[in-house]
Structure 1
Amino acid sequence: MNLAAQVTVSAQVHPDRTALRIGDRTVSYRSLDDLSARAADFLRESGLRPGDRVGIMLPNTPEFAICYFGALRAGGVVVPMNPLLKSREVAYYLGDSGTRLLFAWHDVADEARAGAGQTGAEVVVLGSDGLDEVFASRNASADDVVDRGEGDTAVLLYTSGTTGRPKGAELTHANLTRNRDIVATELLRLAPADVIFGGLPLFHAFGQTCTLNAAVASGACLTLLPRFDARRALEILSGHQVTVVAGVPTIFGRLLEQPDLDTFDDSLLRLALSGGAALPPQVQHDFREAFDCVVLEGYGLSETSPVASFNTLRSGPRPGSVGTPITGVEMRVIGHDGEELPRGEIGEIAIRGHNVMKGYWQRPEETAEAIRDGWFHTGDLARVDQDGYFWIVGRNKDLIIRGGYNVYPRELESVLYGHPAVADAAVVGLPDPDLGQEVGAAVVLKPGARATADELRAYVKDRVAAYKYPRKVWITDALPKGPTGKILKREIVPPTGAGAGAGAGAGG
């Protein structure tokens, strides 16, 4: 088994179909097969042996896919890295993983070289002279895909490090192949005629599995956007005749904010897939109405390859829910004792199945803590309804305990997103000498919209129990976000002396 074998299969079946597109540049499946084979030969000539790690610090360009599949073809383990990393972070990723060679984009070559210089890794710069300069003299063979076992690591995906330094989740060829196939056939129902919007970062599990790997498995086209820009995204959806868009809630919200939406031809768009963070029901409704397509929300983590559950085309969307477990995967909600809780009660999600990672790279103790008796403990809180649908209420660490009462941020955030002026919202716990924690809310307003903190606080107060609503509200220009657009609550800093009316004022 080798995840990259699908490139050769698709090249044999659909040699002339477009596999990758960026602007006016296209790469056929025949070319993707040829170029990834040349990349594999380059790596072997560089001394790569099966199991060696290969870093990829590239944006969403065809070069990412070529190097990704090339490394896998040669038997290597891919270490995807955010191109925005600084040298200190690059050194950590390379050093922790033992990566010996790093493909880096020309725009970030200085940071890549500075970081690699601390570990001894070789840096190969791409993007300035074209692939021909690097791979032209290499041999290409459709038979060069190295055999790998189901349990062999294919990708070392570093987590965001919310509880410490980033850890490398070892995703095997079996993990990623099975997850890819379920996404392509059961969730997206992809066909060769489909065009998938490639705006999710390919260095992230969501982008790899649900766009790149799913497209290649189906002979479909992936049209790439290196850095998300809502206006350019709309132009791609229209001009490239996109049929499927996968994104995080921020992407859908930003698209909805664009003026003159009705001037773009989105008639072929049939499905939107949301993950990575909670999709506010209001955003789901508005996107469905504006783009006339089905919007499905799901759930997963880097450690689960990443998809664990989803609403499906067969069952239809259930707004606010992340659906039911995918085929071959079990999910349950457990209490502090590890026992499964009755339906309707809130507890931690545990997952077991073919999608669960092999473990954390060279961290046996943390692996043993995360995976117990075959169940991966996610740290996410949820409940299950009577139909078996999962409803996320937040992260265990994000739970706010106010005067002994549990407050779940996701519920309040969904309420805030229902306000017509709100673009982004994050609810956090703030230290309080009397109650232990007080509920705070940071809000970003839509362009041109006006609202005060008092108004927003009253809006939520009218819609939730008295102990829940945020007493401390402030309006800010932006919220800190990770590379996929997920809000980073740990980086939110309330204004000094934030009180009940803190930040009251107009936005726009």
Structure 2
Amino acid sequence: MATLSVAAVLAENARRRPAKEALVEGDLRLTFAEVWQRALAQAGALAGLGVRPGDRIALMAPNTADFPQAYYAIAAAGGVVVPVHLLLSQTEVEHVLTDSGATLLLCHPAQAQTGAAAARAAGIRTVLLGEEFGKLAADAEPLPSYVTREADDPAVVFYTSGTTGVPKGAVLSHFNLVMNATVNAFDANDIRPDDIALGALPLFHAFGQTVSMNSTWRAGATLVLLPRFDAARAIELMVKEKVNTFHGVPTMFVALAAAAAGADALPELRVCISGGASLPVAVLERFEAAFGATVYEGYGLSETSPAAAVNQPVFGAKPGTIGHPLWGVDVEIARADAEDRIELLPPGELGEVVVRGHNVFSGYLGRPEATAEALVDGWFRTGDLGTKDDEGFLRIVDRKKDVIIRGGYNVYPREVEEVLMRHPGVAQVAVIGLPDDLHGEEICAVVVPAPDTAPEAAEITEWSREHLGRHKYPRRVEFTDALPLGPSMKVLKRELRVRYAAR
């Protein structure tokens, strides 16, 4: 029996570099020894509340010090963390609590209204982080060390928003998460103990949790938390704290590139990683020009812990791609229409992206049919379409479900978005297919105009007609102040389809 726990990531730092600064949030500064002592005290409090190894504990908190503290406390107590997205409604939170079988909700006071109401409806106890949990921890006997877990035991259950249906719980093991943090820190990137990373991505999401929190600490580096992302504030904080590592989603890179011009000083960034959604090449170029730093774009899903592929210094970075698979992981292109088997395609062919390796999840909690559909012949089917070139660089073309079929031709929204992002009047854009009597689907571009511009729909259509094939350019252009974003900062295209199909 091989034993392993995510809690070891923090425990080992407390042993190897106890006095090293681990966590910074506002005026709060904690060393690895302090964070670990607090986690063991909180784990003792959880044991006192009746938490047993394998129990699922929901955690609902923003990017304050409470999150990593409680996360490692749950792991130390042998529990399974069920992170709750902060943008969910009470009914949606209740679904996560009941579906996961959570026995307790640890909730930040700022989320208490929604969280506590959902917990009452689900019939489970809520403990508020901060004063209430702090008192329980102060009165409890701290655990002497973390509880023994087997490598394949569940560590975290991520609820995936999915593009359809109700959210499903993706079960990730201690082995999945420890390996993903390790290869992210030491193989994909050269993360060093004296690095300082900005934790601006939501920690309740797989990207923020693995890449910002666990990988940073796996390398013994410092995490500086930013509870609410604001580009100007992020630049100020990075300069003040000498941050050299930034992980973000494309919307953050857009905002930072725009805010750089008005900043007094800019941070010296060594490692910049983008994920969560496709980063338009125009945005990557703008950011690199402003900050003088290389952006390494990657790709992953909750079901793959999440990182599966990323541009890596060892292979060189190629803008517009997601680089190469992580160490010990295979990412290939398979025939998209062969549902019951995996048939790998040669380089250059378009197909479904499939993943196998130490990062692939155990399955969907309580959903054997959905698990069997997703895990085929030892590979995880991502539902994304992509290609692999002769040098092994992977490229995501689009979600299988987002492809637009106009007059019998396949149009990939991402390709259209890449082109539109180069228009001077476009700050952000999402391309969707809307029902059309003549062509089956018509192409619609939903545009957030660039500051101080007032582009016209006809002008954008005309411009894109010069830059795109006849079947690809948007016949319809709509303007909006902001695109609807899901909890993981992806644009919710299904919401846009509903909104504009009705018009």
TM-score normalised over the length of structure 2: 0.96
Alignment-derived partner of residue 15 in structure 2: 12
The CA deviation at 1:384 is 1.1
**Distance in 1, Cα, partners of 2:140 & 2:345:** 57
1:394-433 equivalences under 5 Å are 394-433=398-437
Per-residue deviation, 1:130: 7.6
Structure 2 distance, partners of 1:366, 1:133, is 42
Query: d(CA) in 2 for partners of 1:191 and 1:468?
Result: 45
One-letter identity of the residue aligned with 1:181: T
Counterpart-to-counterpart distance in 1, 2:500 and 2:209: 38
Deviation at 1:217, TM superposition (A): 1.0
Which secondary structure does the structure 2 equivalent of 1:258 belong to? helix
| Deviation readout 1:394-441 (Å, 9 max, x if unpaired) | 000001111111100000001111112211100111111121111111
**Deviation, structure 1 residue 203:** 0.3
1:490 corresponding residue in structure 2: 494
Aligned to 1:233: 234
TM-fit CA distance, 1:162: 1.9
Q: Which residue of 2 aligns with 1:106?
A: 109
1:480 and 1:488 in contact (8 A); partners too: yes
Tell me if structure 1 keeps the 8 A contact 2:127–2:133: no
Instruction: Give the match's secondary structure for 2:451.
Output: coil
Matched, 1:291 2:295: no
Q: Superposition RMSD on alpha carbons, in Å? A: 1.4
Tell me the secondary structure at the aligned position of residue 440 of structure 1. strand
Give the Cα separation in 2 of the matches to 1:218 and 1:277.
Answer: 25
SS at match of 2:81: strand
Unaligned runs of 5+ in 2: none
8 Å Cα contact 1:27/1:62 also seen in 2: no
Query: 2:372 maps to which residue?
Result: 368
Question: Which residue does the alignment assign to 1:246?
Answer: 247
**What amino acid sits opposite 1:79 in the alignment?**
V
What is the aligned partner in structure 1 of residue 349 from structure 2? Answer: 345
Q: Which secondary structure does the structure 2 equivalent of 1:462 belong to?
A: helix
Residue in structure 2 matched with residue 31 of structure 1 by the alignment: 34
Report if the CA contact (8 A) 1:83-1:105 is conserved: no
Q: Which residue of 2 aligns with 1:274?
A: 274
Whether the 8 Å contact between 2:25 and 2:65 is mirrored in structure 1 is yes
Q: How far, CA to CA, are the matches of 2:469 and 2:501 in structure 1?
A: 27
Which string of whole-angstrom CA distances, capped at 9 and with x for unpartnered residues, describes residues 162-196 of structure 1? 21000000000000010000111122311121110
Partner of 1:357: 361
Q: Secondary structure at the match of 2:414?
A: helix
1:453 to 436, 457, 465: 457
Q: 2:441 aligns with which of 437, 442, 445?
A: 437
Tell me, in whole angstroms, the C-alpha distance in 2 between the residues paired with 1:480 and 1:290. 27
Say if 2:333 is the partner of 1:333: yes
- Tell me if the contact between 1:205 and 1:305 (Cα under 8 Å) persists in the aligned partners: yes
SS of corresponding position for 2:435: strand
User: Quick one: which amino acid aligns to residue 341 of structure 1?
Assistant: L
Residue in 1 that maps onto 2:45: 42
Once the 2 structures are TM-superposed, how far is the Cα of residue 450 of structure 1 from its aligned partner? 2.5
Indicate how the Cα distance of structure 1 residues 341 and 496 shifts in structure 2: closer, same or farther if over 3 A, else same: closer
| Distance change (3 Å), C-alpha of 1:234 and 1:108 | same
Tell me how far apart the structure 1 counterparts of residues 316 and 260 of structure 2 sit (CA, whole Å). Answer: 29
Q: Could you report, residue by residue, the CA deviation over 1:304-326 in whole angstroms, capped at 9, with x for unpaired residues?
A: 00000011012221000001111
Matched AA of 2:403: L
Would you say the 8 A contact 1:311–1:317 is kept in 2?
A: yes
- Partner of residue 73, structure 2: 70
TM-score (norm 1): 0.95
Aligned partner of 1:479 in structure 2 is 483
The 1:316/1:130 distance shift into structure 2, 3 A limit, reads: farther
Taking the aligned partners of 2:90 and 2:126, their CA distance within structure 1 comes to 13
1:402 is matched by which residue type in structure 2? R
For residues 117-266 of structure 1, what are the structure 2 equivalents within 5 Å? 117-127=120-130, 129=131, 132-141=134-143, 143-258=144-259, 260-261=261-262, 263-266=264-267
Provide Cα deviations, 1:64-121, integer angstroms capped at 9, x if missing partner. 1111001011110000012333321221111001101111011221221211112221
Is the 1:84–1:108 contact (alpha carbons within 8 Å) kept by the matching residues of 2? no
Post-superposition shift, 1:6?
Answer: 1.8
1: CA distance between counterparts of 2:270 and 2:132?
35
Partner of 1:501: none
CA distance in 2, matches of 1:381, 1:496: 25
What fraction of aligned residue pairs are identical, expressed as a percent? 45
Query: What is the alpha-carbon distance in structure 1 between the residues aligned to residue 397 and residue 295 of structure 2?
Result: 20
Q: Aligned letter for 1:272?
A: C
Choose 9-18 or 95-104, whichever is displaced more: 9-18
- Aligned pairs for 1:75-94 (under 5 A) are 75-94=78-97
Residue 299 of structure 2 aligns with an amino acid whose one-letter code is Y
**Inter-partner Cα distance in structure 2 for 1:50 and 1:220:** 29
Distance 1:366 1:412 in 2: 32
Once the two structures are TM-superposed, the CA of residue 161 in structure 1 deviates from its matched residue by 3.3
3-state SS of 1:85 partner? coil
Conserved? CA contact 1:22–1:61, under 8 Å: yes
- The size of the alignment, in residue pairs, is 495
Comparing 176-185 with 231-240, which one deviates more in the overlay? 231-240
